[in-house]
Chain A
Amino acid sequence: MVGDVSKKSSRRGATLGTIILLTAVVATLAFAVTSSSLTHLHLSQRSANSEVARNLAESVISLGLEKVLESDDFGTVKSQAETVTIQGFEKSSGGKLTFSPETATAWEAHYSTNNIDGDGAVSGSGGRLVPKNSLHLVGSGFSNDTQRTVEAFFHVPKFPFVVATDGKFQTEGEMLIASVEQVDELLKNGPDDDDLRPGHIVANSTESDALQLGSQTKVTGDAKSAGGVSLMTGAEVLGEVKPNAGLSKIPHYSVNDFDPQATGKLGIQYLNSSVVNKPTYEGWVRRQGDLLVNNGLNLDSGVLFVDGDLVVTGGVQGTGAILVTGDTYISGRSSLSTDNVAALVSEGDVEIQGSGKGSSLFRGLIYTNKGLRAENVTVVGTLIVAGKEGELTLKDSNVVYSPDSIRIDLQHSARTALHFVAPSGANPGAYLGTRSNDKSHKNKKRIYVSLNENGEFLIYPSGADESEAQVAATVEEAIEAVRSLVAVGDDEKQLQAFEASSNPRLNTLLEGLNDKTIPLEEPEVDLVTIDPSQLVGLADKIRLVLMRDI
């Protein structure tokens, strides 16, 4: 009896053992499978969260950009209200961006910086340098426990294109289309690859042959077209080729809007003869009918309005504007002086026939509502063809944009230009003197000084309007304003160069200007300002320079 009970217990024990063993094996396997699946699931989830967080960071940057495009001073006050947030699909996901350093500190995130209207580089979040005319947006995205931060730098150029046409655009022969920050060394030595910056072109024609670049054409920026883009073998586009892109905003002028007679300008000089020889024009000059100018046209703060066709042999020199209701033909050599800045605005076709890229130069704006053809010339400035039917053809020429060559400012008080070595030059920040006594060919930055009726200094950089000038009541304030515009504040070396070269010369000059013992060098001009960049909105100018994860 006892033996039976013992055997039964042993069998029951064996069965229990087997079940426990089997359960353990199954449980171990189940655990292994579950663990492996969970690891993969976790990795996938983490990867998905990361992607969602990054997308939200980019989205909030887009929203921040939209806010700035709606109001270009958004973010300049750095208040807590200047904050953008976005909610993700899940409750635990979203994106945020702020221009307020305090809010950013509370979030343990970076803040954004709006320096679009800045005259110099400023320090942004995390010690980032935010260049002038730039926007630094930092967006943080989060999804569950994952956070991603993306930063983007946007730049607002004075004008977005070197060459812009509403019609077709083609190049032939050896062509360079680029941009530079300063023109002085370019004019002295010709284009140097190290100084060339991206220069963009656009053709708004929707035809398949909208943009045709010849085999020896080099474009340092993007080539954009609303139609097709054809690059011959050897053509070089260092930026992006964008065929079938959307239409770009191209400014439009009507020459008759500038007619001094119709707009009631005073002191107009009327030309009765249809042929003139080597004239120098100052102030408003008007010709009713066609005009032939032989042996060069010299503009000394002059505006020539021709209600007809204009032919100029011998090139154009000086500072001023040429406004033509008909066709325009210009041929011959032009001076390579830095001071020559002119605008040619023509209702009809424009043809410029130079004698060579090294000897013929037009600095400024060339605008037409019909076609444009330029050959054997260097244009430092911008070419704009606003006529849809007009074709733009460039042959064996250089077209180099510089920010201070697009605006023709013939409306300003008496002023003196101060020259400083530009950041791209040797010994940047150094004071070179005023325009009349600086004969150097270094890349330079020009700062204008004038005086208002209260005897206060008005200080503004070349390319800016006098109405936007900084006002300084004292010589010390004026020097500080000049220093801020030369933008040497954050660079010890440039600051030293500025101080060493300007002290005490600048002080003496400003005191002299203030007590009228030193006269202002340039006389007052009240003619016309032609600045196509004002006709292009911020949204059409702003450009993404850099976007990256941080």
Chain B
Amino acid sequence: MTIIEILVALTIFGVISYLVATILGRSVQITARESALLELEQTCHFTVDKVEAALQKGALASISVLNDPAGGLHAFSVNPIEGITAEGELAWKGSNTIYYWNAEEHTLYKTKFPPGPDDSQPVRAAPNRLTSSELMEVISASDNQAVTVTEGVTGFQVTKSPPTESERLFNISITLERNIGETKLREFTLEKEVALRN
């Protein structure tokens, strides 16, 4: 084999290697991006499912929502149903589940009011539907007890349907933001209309 042959072979090998590396690198990038997007989308779905499950544990009479765009606070409170009494009345859990999102922190939190295990509070005969001011008060006092549900939440809102429609309809809207690659920020928004069962 001559030097020319070796050079040609090396050149061809180099070109092929470069092409392969480029293709592989690109596909790795695409795979990583798609995987991250998929994860973003699924996190959105799972968060909405969690919120829906929390709402479905309550009833119309036990859910209150708070949307305060000026204060950057969006929240809802659910007093879950415990069961049914011998007289056919609903019994309610002793504590409320509260989901809240603060625009500054980009995090969706969950907390309980009153705090503590579920069975530490007596079962209620009537639902505890928190007012907006009570909800604000509970949230401001619950920093230490709150657990993170989802991070990177850039938008969150639970709203009741307009008065002309069924009151059982709630709209859940969530926007998540993630870094895709080194510099790209991707956003994904998911909205779901939920009809309360109870």
Binding site for B on A (CB under 8 A): 18, 22, 25-26, 29, 32-33, 36, 40, 43, 47, 120-121, 128-129, 131-134, 153, 155, 181, 193-194, 197, 231, 238-244, 423-424, 487, 490-491, 544-549
Give the residue of A43, A47, A155, A242 whose beta carbon is less than 8 angstroms from that of B88: A155
- By beta carbon, the residue of chain A nearest B196 is A240
Name the one of B38, B81, B163 contacting A548, with C-beta atoms under 8 angstroms: B81
Shortest CB distance A349–B (Å): 32
Contact A47 B168 (CB under 8 A): no
User: In this assembly, does B27 line the interface, its C-beta being within 8 Å of a C-beta of chain A?
Assistant: yes
Query: By the criterion CB–CB under 8 Å, are B24 and A545 in contact?
Result: no
* A56, B194: Cα distance in complex, Å: 18
Contact B88 A133 (CB under 8 A): yes
Is B125 on the interface with A (CB-CB < 8 A)? yes
Judge whether B61 is part of the interface by a CB distance below 8 angstroms.
yes
Report how far A396 CA is from B125 CA in the complex, Å. 28
* One of A25, A40, A490, A544 near B86 (C-beta < 8 A): A490
Answer yes or no: B141 CB below 8 A from chain A CBs. no
The B128-175 residues at the A interface (CB cut-off 8 A) are 163-164, 166-168
B88 contacts A240, C-beta separation under 8 Å: no
With both chains docked as a complex, state the minimum distance between the C-beta of A462 and any C-beta of chain B, in angstroms. Answer: 16
- A29-B27, A40-B42 as given contacts; A134 in contact with B88, CB under 8 Å: yes
Interchain CB contact under 8 A, A197 and B42: no
Q: How far is the CB of A135 from chain B (nearest CB, A)?
A: 11
Are B167 and A153 in touch, CB under 8 angstroms? Answer: no
Contact call A36/B35, Cβ cutoff below 8 A: yes
How big is the B interface, by class? 20 to 34
Q: How far is the CB of A33 from chain B (nearest CB, A)?
A: 5
Which interface residue of A155, A239, A424, A545 has the most chain B CB atoms within 10 A?
A545
Q: Is the pair B35, A29 in contact by a Cβ cutoff of 8 Å? A: no
Partner of A546, one of B45, B60, B90: B90
Q: Judge whether B89 and A197 touch: CB under 8 Å.
A: yes
Chain B residue nearest to A229 (CB atoms) is B163
A175 to B197, CA, bound (A): 29
On whether the beta carbons of B86 and A423 are closer than 8 Å, the reply is: yes
The reply to whether the CB of B28 lies closer than 8 angstroms to some CB of chain A is yes
Which of B42, B45, B87 has most chain A Cβ within 10 Å?
A: B87
Chain A contacts of B89 at CB under 8 A? 197
Are A547 and B163 touching (Cβ within 8 A)? no
10 smallest beta-carbon distances between A and B, as pairs: A131-B88, A121-B86, A547-B197, A240-B167, A155-B88, A33-B31, A153-B84, A241-B167, A40-B38, A129-B86
B198 within 8 A of partner (CB): yes
Residues 58-82 of B, flagged 1 when their CB comes within 8 A of A and 0 if not, give 0011000000000000000000010
Give min CB distance, A110 to chain B, whole Å. Answer: 15
Are B198 and A29 closer than 8 Å at their CB atoms? no
Within 8 A of A (CB), among B24-46: 24, 27-28, 31, 35, 38, 42, 45
Q: Which residues of B are found within 8 Å of A131, using beta-carbon distances?
A: 84-88
Q: Give A40's nearest chain B residue, CB to CB.
A: B38
- Chain A CB within 8 A of B20 CB: yes
Residue in B closest to A50 when the chains form the complex, CB atoms: B49
Task: Say yes or no: is B106 at the interface (Cβ < 8 Å to chain A).
Answer: no
Instruction: Chain B residues near A491: list those with CB within 8 A.
Output: 86
- Which A residues are CB-close (under 8 A) to B42? 40, 43
A222: shortest Cβ distance to chain B, in Å?
9
* Chain A residues whose C-beta falls within 8 Å of the C-beta of B164 in the assembled complex: 243-244
CB-CB under 8 A from A194, the residues of chain B are 125-126
Nearest A-chain residue to B88, judged by Cβ: A131
Most chain A CB within a 10 A radius of its CB, from B57, B61, B86: B86
- B56 sits at the interface (CB 8 A): yes
Q: How far is the CA of A129 from the CA of B31 in the complex (A)?
A: 53
- Residues of B close to A545: CB separation below 8 A: 84, 88, 90, 198
Verify A544–B198 contact, CB threshold 8 A: yes
How far, in Å, is A533 (CB) from chain B's closest CB?
16
Q: List 7 A-B contacts (CB under 8 A).
A: A26-B24, A153-B88, A238-B61, A544-B197, A546-B90, A546-B198, A548-B81
Across-interface contacts of A240 in B (CB, < 8 A): 60, 166-168
Question: Do A181 and B168 touch across chains, with their CB atoms under 8 A apart?
Answer: no
Chain B residues numbered 82-106 whose CB sits less than 8 Å from any CB in chain A: 83-90
**Are B84 and A129 interface neighbours, CB within 8 A?**
yes
In the complex, what residue of chain B is closest to A131 when comparing beta carbons? B88
Residue among B20, B126, B197 having the largest count of chain A Cβ atoms under 10 Å = B197
Determine the distance from Cα of A25 to Cα of B24 in the docked complex, in whole angstroms.
9
| Smallest CB separation, B190 vs chain A (Å) | 14
**Assuming A29-B31, A242-B167, A548-B197, what are 11 further A-B pairs, CB within 8 angstroms?**
A40-B42, A131-B85, A153-B88, A231-B163, A238-B61, A240-B167, A243-B163, A243-B164, A424-B87, A544-B197, A548-B198
B57–A548 CB distance below 8 A = yes
Question: Are A242 and B38 also in contact (CB < 8 A) when A32-B31, A131-B85 are?
Answer: no
Tell me how far the C-beta of B11 lies from the nearest C-beta in chain A, rounded to whole angstroms: 15
How far, in Å, is A92 (CB) from chain B's closest CB? 23
A136 to chain B, nearest CB (A): 9
Shortest Cβ distance from residue A125 to the other chain B in the assembled complex, whole angstroms: 14
By the criterion CB–CB under 8 Å, are A242 and B197 in contact?
no
Question: Given B28, B60, B166, which contacts A29 in the complex, CB threshold below 8 Å?
Answer: B28
Q: Which of A120, A155, A239, A549 contacts B60 (CB under 8 A)?
A: A239
Residues of chain B with a CB closer than 8 A to A153's CB: 84, 88
Contacts of B126 in A (CB 8 A): 193-194
By beta carbon, the residue of chain A nearest B61 is: A238
- The smallest C-beta distance from A449 to any residue of chain B, in angstroms, reads 24
Residue of chain B at shortest CB distance from A197: B89
Distance between A54 CB and nearest chain B CB, rounded to angstroms:
11
Residues of B within 8 A of A22 (CB): 20
With both beta carbons as reference points, the residue of chain B lying nearest to A230 in the complex is identified as B163
Chain A's closest residue to B38 (CB) is A40
Once the chains bind, are A239 and B61 in contact (CB under 8 Å)? Answer: yes
In the bound assembly, the distance between CA atoms of A86 and B126 in angstroms comes to 37
Nearest CB on A from B9, distance (A): 9
A181 to B87, CA, bound (A): 9
A132 touches B88 (CB 8 A): yes
Residues of chain A lying within 8 A (CB to CB) of residue B87: 121, 131, 181, 423-424
A491, B163: Cα distance in complex, Å: 44
> What is the CA–CA distance of A487 and B87 in the complex, to the nearest angstrom?
10
Contacts of A549 in B (CB 8 A): 56
